[in-house]
Structure formats: structure tokens, C-alpha cells
Amino acid sequence: KDKNFLLHLIVALFVLIISVLFNITRTEWLFIIIAISAVLFMEVINTSVEYVVDLVTDEYHPLAKYAKDTASLAVLIASMMSLLIGMIIFIPYILKLF
């Protein structure tokens, strides 16, 4: 469970390095910080939901599965939003290289 958070941190570090290299604007920095934070917040909430569900029951229950699946969906939505923000910000910088 914590390996997902570590993966998100590694990707965030990469994005921060690229942001510095491209010398993005202050406004773009705000969007990058919000996007990274949103994904990390959702990952923390997802992990918390998984731990609580595991604490409450050892048996399979459809509602437990739904709780875990919807928490995971929140991470996916935040990740997709962050990817879109990243594309909007970085594609013009990448195109300037060519």
C-alpha cells in the first residue's frame, strides 16, 4: 500500500525537476503544486480507507470492496487530472525544443 505513495513521490520529484528545467511561470507552479498535492492527498485517503476496512473485517463483503474501489477511483481521478494539467503545461515547452 505504501509503495503506491512512494511511486507518486518519485513521479512528483521528476515533475518538480522538469518544472525547474523548463523554468515554468509562477501560475504554472501553482497548478503543479495543486496537482501533486491532490494526488498525494487522495493516496493517503485511499490507504486510510484500505486500513480501516481491513481492520473492521477479515471476510469478503461487497461494501468493503466498494469502499476500497471508490477510494482507489479517487486516486485515479486525481492522477488523470494531474496528467492533464501536466500535459497542458509541459507540451508547449516540449514543442519549443523542436
Query: How much is the CA Rg of the chain, to the nearest whole Å?
Result: 17
Task: Write the CB contacts of 10 (distance below 8 Å, at least 6 apart in sequence).
Answer: none
Please list the active-site residues: 43
Burial 35-66 (b: 16+ CB within 10 A, else e): bbebbbebbeebbebbeebeeeeeeeeeebee
